[in-house]
Structure 1
Amino acid sequence: NELLGFLSFLKINTLYSELEMMLAQQVANFLAVLLAHDRKIAEIELKLKGNFVEDLISGNYLDIESIKARARALEYDITIPNRVLVAQFDEAKQFSRYKNNDEQNSFRHELIKKIQSVTALTAPSMAVSGKNEIIILVQADKPNHTFEAIKHIAQEIIRKVSPLLKTKLYIGIGTRCTELEDYKRSYLSAKKALEIGEFMITEGQIRSFEQFKIHALFLSTLNPAELYSYARKLLQPLLDYDDKHNAELIKTLQEFLYLRNNVEGTAKSLNMSVSGIKYRLQKIQKITGYNLKDHKLCFDLQLALIILQLFGEYNVLNG
């Protein structure tokens, strides 16, 4: 009793004869069978693609030739450079109005079709539904398939898909794949970029290690929430003082540490007198109890400042 589509006939000024009605019913029955058959094939293809991508990004295949053969059967080339993209949205919020899993799966299929139509304009791709995410393979073998081009694809996906969603769509861009074992690494880097981006209030809906640059090396190995808590705890007294007194002790400390504890250089950089900088540094030590001659402590403070910058806590200085 499932509705697969509509069949319309138009006849002007005369009624349909009994024979015409019988023919129309026969045509409708034939098309219903054809549509059901096509949909079944599409469902099987989606399942094959889903299993293939899951095995590819997890490294769960018997040998290299077997996974290559599966890719060829699906008419997709994994032997040339690719990137793995991961798209996520708040499924609990999105699916709150859906009655059952069939409706949710139908919506996911529509999203995948929309995503495929967007990526096809720039590069061959394959999109499948994963657990609480959509995984997208995008070929990046042409000179014009730069990181910026892949980022543009992600932007277009968000632009086209967002009207279908009740919540924001976020996309993580994985590292470039040149070998089969790179697909797992690319997928994990896309996932980690999304995780890190959750804690960075300055980041947009597209996230990648390329944009995090060198800081991704330590962000990727540590818990972002713990990093933020550590940095906040270390600098909390100064943050509170600046907020309460509209002061610039954090800015002064950052510049002082950036210039390797050079008082004269800090004064010149901030367009202040040397005595003014010395007063601020004494104030910092008094409020925090920190000894700014302790090089290890200064390193920890500088790291904490970098972490808060990455998390969008305040404007980044010195580039």
Structure 2
Amino acid sequence: MQFLTYELAQEIVERTMKILNRNINVMNGEGVIIGSGDSERINQLHAGALLVLKKGESVEIDSFRAVTMKGSRPGINLPIRFSNQIVGVVGITGEPEQIRNYAQLVKMAAELVLEQSFLLERVQWKQRLQSEIVNQLISEEGLNEESIKERAGFLGINLEHPRVAIVIEKRDYTEISNQLIRSVQYEIGKADLIGVTFNDEIVILKAAAVNESERDLPPLLKRLLKVSGGKVLIGSGGLAENIKELKSSFYQAKRAIMVGNKLQPDTSFYQFDDYQLEIMLAKLVQYEDKSIFSYYHQLLDQGKKGELADTLEAYIREGGELNKIAESLFIHRNTLRYRLEKISELTGKDPRNIKDLIELYMAKLLHDIS
């Protein structure tokens, strides 16, 4: 495996030269210079590095010795070790007596940069793998369960856990940035999966604890909203008991956002459990003639500033209790009775009849979510 690349070698050079006002060279496992403060030396063979690779220890080269060694200049060359093996060499240009005190510091800096790069690459690999798994779980038909369980196992994640899908969508033209993804990652658990879809949505497949349900989600949803700066919409689906149900939970979360944002635009997170009736209605009317509930528009067209529609909404909200309805609307009970009669006259539906009230409520919902 190649640990040192040209890019990484040059990064080591630039970092160490900021600390030490000396030229730095980085050589690969074949002794070829792949990073240097002197760009003309790139791709030259470094005899001193070959010696370090052969002996497995530091090599000092003074001015007299440099003359006899091809591609070498006075300096100290030290092995770069990673995972208990020598993967390259770092050299400091200068007379050994003048730079000996800095040699080990440069070696440590080079190895630290290499380790950080490896850890970052490993984190990025895990993120990519998680994202691939999430996208497969929420989109693919005929899913190979054993294969995807095995891939999740590489990450130490057990897909047998019941899970709830959480979708984070950007609001307007807000971008789903890497910083936002990292912020979200800090809020979820080790057993949770996170990925980004092709539509630029963050999807969390949250593992549910014992006796935990989607009703226990609001604290997490509030934290996710906070770390996102309130510039996103968040939806959660129902509990998926197995892998095959995750796709349904994902789409439930998306529908909760779609419907919830129309009914309550001032809210930023929506749970499927709170909008099941509205979502069901929205799906049904996609294939039905929407004119069947057109009588609701007559309430909007009549009265002062939509007072009949407001009265119907208050009637539904207060469960038909006339005193509470009149108080919430700041009107007399006789005025309320007159408005209810007017609603019945215009729509042919009497709010005081439970079946008619259900139909009026459905007509109102259809108008609100259309």
Alignment TM class, shorter chain as reference = 0.5 to 0.7
- Paired letter, 1:153: L
| Structure 1 spans left out of the alignment, 5+ residues | 10-16, 96-106, 312-319
1:235 and 1:66 map into 2 onto residues whose CA distance is 52
Q: Is the 8 A contact 1:238 1:250 kept in 2?
A: no
Q: Is the 8 A contact 1:151 1:173 kept in 2?
A: no
2:180 and 2:167 map into 1 onto residues whose CA distance is 13
RMSD: 4.2
Does 1:119 find its partner at 2:188?
Answer: yes
Alignment partner, residue 40 of structure 1: 121
| Number of aligned residue pairs | 272
Does 1:134 find its partner at 2:202?
Answer: yes
Alignment partner, residue 217 of structure 1: 280
| Structure 2 spans left out of the alignment, 5+ residues | 1-6, 20-97, 327-331
Structure having the larger proportion of residues in helix: 1
Does 1:151 find its partner at 2:218?
Answer: yes
Judged with a 3 Å threshold, the aligned counterparts in structure 2 of structure 1 residues 35 and 194 are, in CA distance, closer, same or farther, namely same
Q: Is the 8 A contact 2:261 2:267 kept in 1?
A: no
2:210 and 2:364 map into 1 onto residues whose CA distance is 40
SS of 2:243's partner is coil
Does 1:194 find its partner at 2:263?
Answer: no
1:6 and 1:243 map into 2 onto residues whose CA distance is 72
Q: CA deviation at 1:252?
A: 6.0
SS of 1:50's partner is helix
Q: CA deviation at 1:27?
A: 2.5
Judged with a 3 Å threshold, the aligned counterparts in structure 2 of structure 1 residues 221 and 86 are, in CA distance, closer, same or farther, namely farther
| Identical aligned residues as a percent | 19
Does 1:235 find its partner at 2:302?
Answer: no
- TM-score normalised according to structure 1 size: 0.67
- Paired letter, 2:192: S
Match of 2:108 among 20, 23, 27: 27
Judged with a 3 Å threshold, the aligned counterparts in structure 2 of structure 1 residues 214 and 203 are, in CA distance, closer, same or farther, namely farther
Greater C-alpha Rg: 2
Where in structure 2 are the equivalents of 1:1-319 lying within 5 Å?
A: 18-60=99-141, 63-90=144-171, 92-94=173-175, 107-108=177-178, 110-120=179-189, 124-131=191-198, 132-143=200-211, 145-162=212-229, 168-202=231-265, 204-222=267-285, 234-244=295-305, 247-248=307-308, 251=311, 255=315, 272-273=333-334, 280=339, 290-291=347-348, 301-307=360-366
Q: Deviations over 1:78-124 (max 9, x none)?
A: 112111111111473337xxxxxxxxxxx42x33332222122xx73
Q: Is the 8 A contact 1:239 1:250 kept in 2?
A: no
1:253 and 1:195 map into 2 onto residues whose CA distance is 21
Judged with a 3 Å threshold, the aligned counterparts in structure 2 of structure 1 residues 213 and 92 are, in CA distance, closer, same or farther, namely closer
- TM-score normalised according to structure 2 size: 0.59
- Paired letter, 2:269: I
The answer to which structure, 1 or 2, has the higher relative contact order (CA under 8 A, 6+ apart) is: 1
Alignment partner, residue 103 of structure 1: none
SS of 1:138's partner is strand
